[in-house]
Amino acid sequence: MATTLLLNASYEPMKVISWQRAITLVFLGKVEVVEAYDDEIRSVSASLPMPSVVRLRRYARQDRRVKFSRTNVYRRDNYACQYCGVQPGAAELTLDHVVPRAHGGRTEWTNIVACCARCNTRKADRTPDQAKMALPRLPERPAFMPAVTPAEARHETWREYLSVA
């Protein structure tokens, strides 16, 4: 399924949307197509290039606070286990409470880390000190997280807009 990178009017990446949503925004006049895939979208009376990158015609203010979510914790921790450093892939990662909930730990940025299933089982219902497992750095709330990182680029046309200056 093809997806489309949505850029703000300032060419800043905002998020990834479906190509169907991108076409709707084109017809509503809210975006312009910046890059297109080789495929075409055809109807009885028209043929359009499938949008790869679209840009809003008007600037949209964004909330810069990073929402707490499983995906954002994985992104903050670079999709790697924070105990052993292995990058098993998002399907094999879990979330671990540094201070277990049974010991009063809360589900928040400063108490959650990405963890492989093996380390999570080994740590069990203990603190890292009790389990003799060291954290290389303490978890913290990120001040900023890009909407889409260069590693998440799904098409070569996206790379130019995701590059870090």
- Domain assignment of residue 139, yes or no: no
Q: In this structure, what CATH number is given to the domain that contains residue 110?
A: 1.10.30.50
Does residue 5 have a pLDDT over 80? yes
Question: Looking at the DSSP assignment, which residues form a beta bridge with residue 18?
Answer: 3
Residues 62 and 77: their CA atoms lie apart, in Å, by 23
Give the pLDDT confidence of 88-146 residue by residue, as tens digits. Answer: 877 789 999 999 999 999 999 999 999 999 999 999 999 999 999 999 999 999 988 77
- Domain assignment of residue 7, yes or no: yes
- Identify the domain containing residue 101 by its residue range: 70-131
Residues 163 and 138: their CA atoms lie apart, in Å, by 28
- Domain assignment of residue 55, yes or no: yes
Residues 76 and 28 reside in one and the same domain:
no
Does residue 28 have a pLDDT over 90? yes
Number of domains forming the structure of the chain: 2
Residues 58 and 12 reside in one and the same domain:
yes
Residues 151 and 42: their CA atoms lie apart, in Å, by 31
- Domain assignment of residue 142, yes or no: no
